[in-house]
Amino acid sequence: MIDLHIRPERPADAASIAALLYAAFAGNQHSNHTEHQIVERLRAGGRLAVSLAALLPDGRLVGHVAFSKVTIDGRDEDWYGLGPLAVLPQAQGQGVGAALVEAGLSVLRRKGARGCVVLGEPAYYCRFGFAQDAGLRYPGPPPEYFMALPFAGPAPQGVVAYDGAFA
């Protein structure tokens, strides 16, 4: 296991986070390579609810995860969306992504959030407890790629919308 320090982002991290997002998604065929702009828009709007950086002992940033509020049928139900999640290509496959997701979900739980959704690979996110929920819908992608993790009680039902920064 890689020696890793995970902490909330700091103002001085912004440029490194943008570069990391760009590098991590460069080879992703499902990406339109705007993830760094999404995070910048969320940050600028004060809507980056959780933003964690993963650093090596020498201070190099190797991973980042963001969470922002989602709405369900237009309502604020204290649910969040995970993403983007990114790990530098040379640091992938060593548990950095998993450590960031677990740390971010813990922060959300401590904040009293009621649940989290993610749009991504079921084979990756099921290990954290995310699962498809027929009552929580996200129009567009195949439904198996949209997953939910309730923290308290059953998930609300309805159509999920991400922050406008993702548009």
Q: Which of residues 71 and 92 has its CB atom nearest to ligand COA in the complex?
A: 92
Total residues at the site for ligand COA (CB under 6 A)? Answer: 17
Among 82, 4, 14, residue whose Cα is nearest residue 49? 82
Residue 28 makes contact with ligand COA by CB under 6 A = yes
* Cross-strand partners of 158: 136
Q: How far is the CB of 101 from ligand COA (least distance, A)?
A: 8
Transcribe 107-131 into DSSP letters: HHHHHT--EEEEES-HHHHGGGT-B
3-11, 70-78, 92-100, 134-142 -> range binding ligand COA (CB under 6 A)? 92-100
Kindly state the tokens that stand for 116: 């989290």
Q: Would you give the binding string for ligand COA spanning residues 47-76, x where CB under 6 A is met?
A: ------------------------------
Residues 6+ apart with CB under 8 A from 63: 20, 53, 54, 85, 86, 87, 88, 91, 96, 97, 99, 100
Q: Which of residues 55 and 124 has its CB atom nearest to ligand COA in the complex?
A: 124
Tell me which residue has tokens 């909330």: 8
Residue 129 makes contact with ligand COA by CB under 6 A = no
Residue 132 makes contact with ligand COA by CB under 6 A = no
Binder among 17, 49, 52, 87 for ligand COA (CB under 6 A) = 87
Residue 120 makes contact with ligand COA by CB under 6 A = yes
Residue 124 makes contact with ligand COA by CB under 6 A = yes
Distance of alpha carbon 117 from alpha carbon 162, whole angstroms: 10
Tell me which residue has tokens 């309730």: 150
Residues lying near ligand COA in the complex (CB under 6 A) are found at 24-25, 28, 85-87, 92-98, 120-121, 123-124
